[in-house]
């Protein structure tokens, strides 16, 4: 699994003061790291991470390429020793779009930096100006192009719900970032921190943030569409942090923001699948409905605090899930009988004893339950087919049709 050795380089890296920024609060770090800190973090990680070839050293926090050059080189020199063949995979840095040029990219390349993340935040010049970013959308386009030309992995960070950003500006940002198609994005709903310009604007009533639901909906769209387009969303919402919780005076913080958006994505996907079934003339009546979701995605689909289960229950539908490794993240399929019947082939001794007819969906043979003589794991009892010996037997007590046709359908589904 991919991991980062995160080293925070706080505000010193930035010549600027954006309206929303209080780097110290966001990174929760006050002290500047030096080469000894980098070496210590790397040495420690060497003994801890599962796969060093999938681990990167990440300098985050401020604007890495804007810190005093000597200091930047000190950090890079320390990190570079740990990168390469048999060592960590590379170095990630984050910086401002107007702090990228040929000269600095050449330096970063020579020190083993592999990925550069730019704080784009918005692609509307009006919003960038209002939030005192000190750069334009064109700077983001230019820096992105250059980063790509040098062969770095490109990441873009965007903020949702900034001062003076309405739906039009949010669309502009989303569409432009999609057009740039970075390798990664981070989606940050705005959190208004104490002692920032945004906090003042909020207090004076000048900044009227969007509603929480609007921001969730915009972030959900970004998370879903970027994922579908193959742009990896490496963050959605700020880290759950006591610093942020203590210092925030407004905005859109939720300790599990991403899970919230993921739940909405699954709900929308389920509604669409139900709508499609209705359009196809096979509406799902009230009762139980089984959806197939990707491997390991059941809890996301159930939603936070079972929100999706409760939502559909109110509509008279009990939803259940089965996992299928071929279904992409955030997508669902209405599970057909051939999918859901599979569960009857496991630990099925009791059910088979109650059945009058059984079938094997590997070889297709139909037979009487008393022909079964062998069970996998005698205690729990998973029947083995008397004809072919596989553990692919289901009985009619499970409620599924035991016919050659249905066995064929199940065979196609599972083999």
Binding residues for ligand SF4, rule: CB under 6 A, are 11, 14, 16-18, 21, 23, 62-63, 96, 119
Stretch that binds Zn ion, among 171-179, 256-264, 279-287, 382-390 (CB under 5 A): 382-390
N- to C-terminal Cα separation, the chain: 29
Among 318, 281, 321, CA closest to 301: 321
Nearer to ligand SF4, 193 or 397 (CB): 193
| Helix (H/G/I), strand (E/B), else coil: 216 | helix
Sheet with 358-360, edge to edge strand ranges: 366-367, 358-360, 393-395
| Helix (H/G/I), strand (E/B), else coil: 341 | helix
What, of Zn ion, ligand SF4, none, does residue 388 touch, CB below 5 to 8 Å by kind?
Zn ion
Nearer to Zn ion, 310 or 388 (CB): 388
What, of ligand SF4, Zn ion, none, does residue 119 touch, CB below 5 to 8 Å by kind?
ligand SF4
Taking the complex as a whole, the smallest distance from the CB of residue 21 to ligand SF4 amounts, in Å, to 3
Taking the complex as a whole, the smallest distance from the CB of residue 197 to ligand SF4 amounts, in Å, to 10
Q: Is 385 in the site for Zn ion (CB under 5 A)?
A: yes
Taking the complex as a whole, the smallest distance from the CB of residue 151 to ligand SF4 amounts, in Å, to 25
Nearer to ligand SF4, 99 or 344 (CB): 99
| The binder of Zn ion chosen from 101, 388, 399, 408 (CB under 5 A) | 388
172 φ, ψ (degrees, to nearest 5): -55, -50
44 membership: H or E segment, kind and range: helix 35-46
Q: What burial letters (b/e) apply to 69-103, b meaning 16+ CB within 10 Å? A: eebbebbbebbbebbeeebbbbbbbbbbbbbbeee
What, of ligand SF4, Zn ion, none, does residue 362 touch, CB below 5 to 8 Å by kind?
Zn ion
DSSP 88: B
Taking the complex as a whole, the smallest distance from the CB of residue 303 to ligand SF4 amounts, in Å, to 32
Sheet with 232-236, edge to edge strand ranges: 3-9, 55-61, 90-95, 113-121, 153-160, 184-189, 232-236
Q: What is the size of the binding site for Zn ion (CB under 5 A)?
A: 6
Cβ atoms of residues 345 and 392 within 8 Å: yes
Q: Is 387 in the site for Zn ion (CB under 5 A)?
A: yes
What, of ligand SF4, Zn ion, none, does residue 363 touch, CB below 5 to 8 Å by kind?
Zn ion
As given in the structure block, the two tokens for residue 214 are: 């609007």
Stretch that binds Zn ion, among 57-65, 76-84, 207-215, 387-395 (CB under 5 A): 387-395
What, of ligand SF4, Zn ion, none, does residue 96 touch, CB below 5 to 8 Å by kind?
ligand SF4
Contact positions with Zn ion (CB under 5 A) in 334-373: 360, 362-363
Cβ atoms of residues 92 and 9 within 8 Å: no
Q: Which residues bind Zn ion (CB under 5 A)?
A: 360, 362-363, 385, 387-388
């Amino acid at each position: 699994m991919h991991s980062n050795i995160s080293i925070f380089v706080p505000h010193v890296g930035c010549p600027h003061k954006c309206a929303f920024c209080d780097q110290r609060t966001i990174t929760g770090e006050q002290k500047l790291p030096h080469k000894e800190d980098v070496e210590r973090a790397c040495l420690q990680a060497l003994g801890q991470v599962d796969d060093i070839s999938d681990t990167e050293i990440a300098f985050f926090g401020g604007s890495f390429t804007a810190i005093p050059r000597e200091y930047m080189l000190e950090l890079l020199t320390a990190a570079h020793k740990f990168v390469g063949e048999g060592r960590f995979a590379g170095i990630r840095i984050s910086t401002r779009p107007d702090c990228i040029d040929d000269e600095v990219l050449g330096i970063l390349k020579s020190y083993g930096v592999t990925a550069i993340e730019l704080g784009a935040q918005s692609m509307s010049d009006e919003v960038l100006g209002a939030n005192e970013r000190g750069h334009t959308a064109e700077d983001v386009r230019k820096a992105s192009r250059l980063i790509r030309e040098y062969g770095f992995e490109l990441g873009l960070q965007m903020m949702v719900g900034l001062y003076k950003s309405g739906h039009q500006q949010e669309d502009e940002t989303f569409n432009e970032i999609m057009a740039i198609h970075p390798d990664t994005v981070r989606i940050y709903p705005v959190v208004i921190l104490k002692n920032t310009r945004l906090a003042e604007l909020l207090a004076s009533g000048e900044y009227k943030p969007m509603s929480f639901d609007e921001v969730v909906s915009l972030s959900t769209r970004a998370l879903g569409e970027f994922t579908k387009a193959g742009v990896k969303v490496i963050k959605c919402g700020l880290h759950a942090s006591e610093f942020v919780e203590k210092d925030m005076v407004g905005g859109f913080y939720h300790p599990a923001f991403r899970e919230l958006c993921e739940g909405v994505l699954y709900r929308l996907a389920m509604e669409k699948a139900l709508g499609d079934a209705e359009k196809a003339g096979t509406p799902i009546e009230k009762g139980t409905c089984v959806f197939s979701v990707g491997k390991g995605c059941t809890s996301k689909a159930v939603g936070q605090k079972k929100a999706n289960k409760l939502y559909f229950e109110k509509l008279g539908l009990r939803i259940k899930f089965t996992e299928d490794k071929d279904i992409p993240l955030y997508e669902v399929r209405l599970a057909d009988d051939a999918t859901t019947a599979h569960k009857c082939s496991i630990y099925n001794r009791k059910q088979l004893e109650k059945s009058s007819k059984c079938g094997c969906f590997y070889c297709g043979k139909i037979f009487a339950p008393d022909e079964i003589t062998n069970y996998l794991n005698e205690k729990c009892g998973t029947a083995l087919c008397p004809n072919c010996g596989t553990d692919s037997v289901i009985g009619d007590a499970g409620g599924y049709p035991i016919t050659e046709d249905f066995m064929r359908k199940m065979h196609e589904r599972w083999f």
